[in-house]
Structure 1
Amino acid sequence: MKIFSHLMVLFIAIMHIVFLILEMFLWDHPVGYKVFATTPEFAATSAVLAMNQGLYNGFLAAGLIVGLVKKDIAFKVFFLSCIIVAGIFGAITAKISILFVQGSPALLALIFVLLTEKCTKEKCPER
């Protein structure tokens, strides 16, 4: 089950790398228009905002990857929680589908991380 937990976190990180690519490099491209249901006109006027959002998605992916490499539960919990909050906020402010595409997979990964990884003094020292 621990391997599945790691795979879930890796899957969420890869999802956010894909979001980075879509938002930073394909926003003003037919692929971006289709994925985000936008028009060329809207994409042109919002490209800078999309690039900024893509960069943040890259930071989320990087945090999850660091958590996997360092085997640090705190990194994984923090970044998965950020993604869940972003999914909830996106559902409230933009489209409900964001909750299912972004928030739900991160919640599932967080549950598996919490069920399978133990916090020891070496991994999670009290501060």
Structure 2
Amino acid sequence: MRPLFLILVALIAVLHIYVAWFEIFAWTSRGPVVFDTLPVELFAQTTELAANQGVYNAFLAAGLIWALFIRDRVWQRRVAICFLSFVLVAGIAAALTVSLRPGMFQILPSSVAIIVAALERLLARRSE
């Protein structure tokens, strides 16, 4: 279970690095392609807002990456779950305010990782 949890944390961190790059550097070039239901002129007008969101996604990625380098297993899990919870809340907010699709990209992976962490902890307690 532990390797699966760490892999999920790493993958979610990579996802947020990509999202941060997209929002900070590719908003006006890739944004209209990805969000094809929005008017094209909206992207130039919202560059600063998207970049700000990108910074938040970069912080989420940084926290998840930091968790991967913590040697103490208990604190590693705690820090990872903290940042996974932030990702989950951000996904719920996106689903409620933007649309379900972008929210699900955060809700599903973070929920699965949190469940895997809980199962790992439960199995560890049973084996003690």
TM-score class, shorter: 0.7 to 0.9
Structure having the higher helix fraction is: 2
Which residue is 1:32 aligned to?
A: 31
TM-score in terms of structure 1 length:
0.86
Cα RMSD for the two superposed structures: 1.4
User: Could you tell me which residue of structure 2 aligns to residue 3 of structure 1?
Assistant: 3
* Alpha carbons of structure 1 residues 64 and 117: separation in structure 2 relative to 1, 3 Å: farther
Distance 1:6 1:24 in 2: 27
Q: Give a deviation string over 1:27-80, Cα, whole Å, max 9, x none.
A: 011x22112334431110000000000000000000000011114111101100
- C-alpha contact (below 8 Å) 1:84/1:107 kept by paired residues: yes
Q: Which whole-Å CA distance do the structure 1 matches of 2:118 and 2:16 have between them?
A: 21
Tell me how far apart the structure 1 counterparts of residues 117 and 57 of structure 2 sit (CA, whole Å). 20
Identity of matched residues, %: 37
Q: TM-score, normalised by structure 2?
A: 0.85
Q: Are 1:41 and 2:14 matched, yes or no?
A: no
Which residue does 1:123 correspond to in 2?
Answer: none
1:52 match: 52
Runs of 4 or more consecutive aligned structure 1 residues displaced over 2 Å after TM superposition? 36-40
In structure 1, the gaps of 5 or more residues are: 119-127
Contact 1:10 1:64 in 2 (8 A): yes
Per-residue deviation at 1:89? 1.0
Q: Distance in 2 between matches of 1:117 and 1:41?
A: 49
Return the letter of the residue paired with 1:101.
F
